[in-house]
Amino acid sequence: MLAHLENEAALVAEAQAGNAGAFAALMGQYEGHVYRLALNITHNPQDAEDALQDAFLKAYTHLGEFRGDSRFSTWLVRIATNEALTKIRQRPPEGQASSSEWMGAEKEIPRPREIKDDNDDPEERYSKTELLEILSEAIESLDVSLRMVFVLRDIQSFSTADTARLLGLSDGAVKTRLMRARLKLRQRLNAWFKGGLTLD
């Protein structure tokens, strides 16, 4: 779940008044989250990095248009989502990175230190890694329209209402697409675990 800055509104006001340091503080807080969002959408580290940079640039140049009707972070995510979709539209069909590539890039983002599990042995860690790869392949197989909703709702933990606003959809459409995405993922995962599907 995205952690918001307590003084976000004050920083936004300072940034709108021309304080570059305040804008840098906002970007520093949300950079990792926006990158992971873009990576989940594009499945391509370079496209995700480009979407991140383009989103920050667009946010800076249009900062005066932010009216505070929503959180700044929500506004920024909307911009980043649009930029990530633009990267997908501009991509040649064969330009999509493999799941292992974008997963590797995601690991470079600092994460909170995990609490050590005394029962976590090498075999168990391997199983977890394998399961993550399976899940990633399944998510990548979704149509973009379904993947967008799934990423925002089930991975980024946005509410149905926020997801609808971000994607310009109705609440009903979000719920329908999320249900379809979950069903397709369940079917694909069931097929894999029953031995009817491979990652190759």
In order of 29, 88, 152, 174, 200, the CA distances from 160 in angstroms are 24, 24, 9, 7, 34
Residue of higher predicted confidence among 188 and 3: 188
Given pLDDT bands bounded at 50, 70 and 90, which one contains residue 97?
Answer: very low
Given 1.10.1740.10, 1.10.760.10, 3.50.50.60, 3.20.20.70, which CATH number is that of 1-111?
Answer: 1.10.1740.10
CA distance 199 to 169: 33
| 132-168 pLDDT tens trace | 677 777 787 888 888 888 888 888 778 898 888 888 8
Q: Which CATH number does the domain 121-200 belong to among 3.40.50.40, 3.10.180.10, 1.10.10.10, 1.10.760.10?
A: 1.10.10.10
Q: What are 8-20's pLDDT values in tens digits?
A: 889 999 999 989 8
**What is the per-residue pLDDT across 102-132, written as a single tens digit (0 to 9) for each?**
444 444 443 333 334 445 555 555 455 666 6
Q: What are the tokens at 160?
A: 């149905």
Would the pTM count as exceeding 0.75?
no
So where are the chain's domains?
A: 1-111, 121-200
